[in-house]
Amino acid sequence: AESVSSTQILVMWGPVPESDQNGLILGYKILYQEKDSESDTHTHLVKGNFTQSVVLNGLRKYSQYEIQVLAFTRIGNGVPSSPALIERTKDDVPGPPIRLLFPEVQLTSLRVVWQTPENPNGIILGYQIAYRLAAAEINKFITTEVR
């Protein structure tokens, strides 16, 4: 498996050895679940025995997924691949910081306090604070970085 974007993982597999097929392979099922999550296992169905790769879409950004592949015949599902593959989607821009507070506001200074975004979508390297006087031009901000 290989992460191709912040919301997609490419999964590839080989054919089932003939001695293990137990009949005509009708397709494959890709089972995937966010690692260490209470969410349900999702199934992506691939019909036919010719396709041996699929892109899983709509995944959470910068999240680890456990992925298994199984083949199926008209009788039922084969054994899932083991151990499960673990792949992380790529990072992306973070969501907004939360719980923004101004506990100390004075005439010439203030203190700003916030918590990390609910969806950091990666490792937060720092924050950028932009401010302006209320009477200043709308698009003229002063910016400072906090690491």
Predicted pLDDT of residue 103: 94
Between CA 30 and CA 59 the distance in angstroms is 14
Predicted pLDDT of residue 137: 77
**Residue 95 structure tokens:** 């969501």
Q: Label residues 108-140 b or e (16+ Cβ within 10 Å = b).
A: eeeeeeeeeeebbbeeeeeeeeeeeeeeeeeee
Q: Which helix (H) or strand (E) holds 70?
A: strand 64-72
At CA 116, angle to CA 113 and CA 120, rounded to 5?
155
3-state SS class at 135: coil
28: burial class by Cβ within 10 Å (0-12, 13-18, 19+)? buried
pLDDT tens per residue, the chain (147 residues)?
999 999 999 999 998 888 888 899 999 999 999 998 888 999 999 999 888 999 999 999 999 999 999 999 999 999 999 999 999 999 999 999 999 999 999 988 899 999 999 999 999 999 999 988 887 777 888 888 988
> Is the alpha carbon torsion for 58, 11, 86, 71 positive or negative?
positive
- Are residues 80 and 100 in contact, defined by beta-carbon separation less than 8 angstroms? no
